[in-house]
Amino acid sequence: MTVLIQNAHILTMDHRREIVGGALLVREGKIAFVGEERDLPAQTKADRVIDARGGVVMPGFINAHTHLAMTLLRGYGSDLNLQDWLFQKIFPAEDRLLPGDCGAAGDLGIAEMLLGGTTAFLDMYMFMEETAEAVKRSGIRAVLSRGLTAGDAFEEKLAEAVRLHTDWHDTCDGRIRVMLCVHAEYTNNEQTVRRIAEEAKKLGVGIHVHVSETDSETKGCLERHGVTPAQWLDSLGVFDGPAVAAHCVWLTPQDEELFARKGVSVVHNPGSNMKLASGVCPVQELLNRGVNVALGTDGASSNNTLNMQKEVYLAALLGKLSALDPTAVDAYTALEMATVRGAKALGIDDVCGVLREGMDADLILFDTCAPWWSPVSDAAAQVVYAASQEDIRLTMVRGEILMEDRVVKTVNVAAAKAAVEHAVEHLYE
């Protein structure tokens, strides 16, 4: 199937190339043409022609840090402090998880992401095979990592993580990839981290890890090990291959320098960090040092959504506020964090993250009929500061239209909601 999108304002996110009066042709899942409409080869034919009506076409959002199945715990215990929230609400509920719960949450969370223009995500959680099945049936793209913590069952869980790689890595026409995961410094020890780093090296995959989310985590690590979480993880080999460090709120300048030197990608989670009052990731400083910074929602338990548009908006606003500089984290930079930089973090920038000929067609279309789209001086600023989720008219992954006119094609939303609400009966107290 070929799809031609015409009459579009295209933010390619490819070296800030912006095309007014643009056209984009999708053939066999890939971008066959992107450019000005007048440059489209004369005999171009398509099975389907979509008039963008002047709307904005851009790469889909890449949610670079989430816990999809925590959609089960959406908003469970809002407005509590982190310790009460984790120990009184989240951990007891997780102990009551049953097989099937995470699959249902996967369907629901993916539907939400497709409605929000997300075309790929990086996940960390348990029951990861259920999440993989949900990704497979939905058509979305994902990089999956099984959360690993020290404990009696560590080797069993690590074997599970390796099996996830064997069974799922580079499956579904490359839509699914697998990474390893160190949950965090405070839930692991020297031995478990070394084992994970070894296995990652053997498999040739990256490592996904929580780093310095809170002040107390960072201070605790200094007490336990005499160094910061970033330095401790580095000493055990976590950053010797590709790595994705989520949160990174309480980094030292030495940590920032380390990440720049080792090419570690950082994932900023402004919604979750603000809601839990964890603090602010030093985004502009990291960018200034040349660190790749991506964006994520974290889990719906602490967010309470999987809406990347909100994160883009918060990243731009919080970047300015925390620097007391209105030119910090400008609109284009925030969009890069949510697209091309996300692709780089996930190691999928060979196939997506920008709109360029030969790349997979992972893209979204914003309709611009609503009042808040007038007047428009700058399309990127408009997407970041003014667009509403309802403006997202189409979400496409590898050339397949997965959401159109606010209807998800590949998930039965009502059934997923019913299944999640059923699960909640045994999860919540």
Work out whether 75 is an interface residue with a copy of itself (CB under 8 A).
Answer: yes
What are the C-alpha distances in Å from 62 to residues 131, 294, 312, 326? 17, 8, 11, 25
Residues of span 84-143 touching a copy of itself by CB under 8 A: 85, 108-109, 111-112, 115
Write down how long the chain is. Answer: 429
Q: Which of 67, 74, 177, 268 binds a copy of itself (CB under 8 A)?
A: 74
DSSP string, 171-226: BTTTTEEEEEEE--GGG--HHHHHHHHHHHHHHT--EEEEE--SHHHHHHHHHHHS
**3-state SS, residue 204:** coil
Q: Which of 310, 347, 356, 410 binds a copy of itself (CB under 8 A)?
A: 310
Q: Measured from the CB of residue 342, what is the shortest distance to a copy of itself in angstroms?
A: 21
Residues of span 351-380 touching a copy of itself by CB under 8 A: 369-372, 374-378
Give the range of 18-26, 62-70, 237-245, 406-414 binding a copy of itself by CB under 8 A.
406-414
Residues of span 227-246 touching a copy of itself by CB under 8 A: none
What are the C-alpha distances in Å from 381 to residues 311, 313, 384? 14, 10, 5
For 249, half-sphere exposure in the C-beta direction (CA atoms, 13 angstrom radius) is 22
Q: Which two tokens stand for residue 351?
A: 């196939």
Q: From CA 228, how far away is CA 240, in angstroms rounded?
A: 17
Q: Measured from the CB of residue 111, what is the shortest distance to a copy of itself in angstroms?
A: 5
Q: Measured from the CB of residue 240, what is the shortest distance to a copy of itself in angstroms?
A: 34
Give the range of 9-17, 235-243, 258-266, 305-313 binding a copy of itself by CB under 8 A.
305-313
Q: Which of 138, 192, 228, 382 binds a copy of itself (CB under 8 A)?
A: 382
**Which of residues 117 and 241 has its CB atom nearest to a copy of itself in the complex?**
117
Residues of span 285-304 touching a copy of itself by CB under 8 A: 300, 303-304
**Which of residues 115 and 161 has its CB atom nearest to a copy of itself in the complex?**
115
Q: From CA 25, how far away is CA 5, in angstroms rounded?
A: 6
Q: Which two tokens stand for residue 116?
A: 């929000």
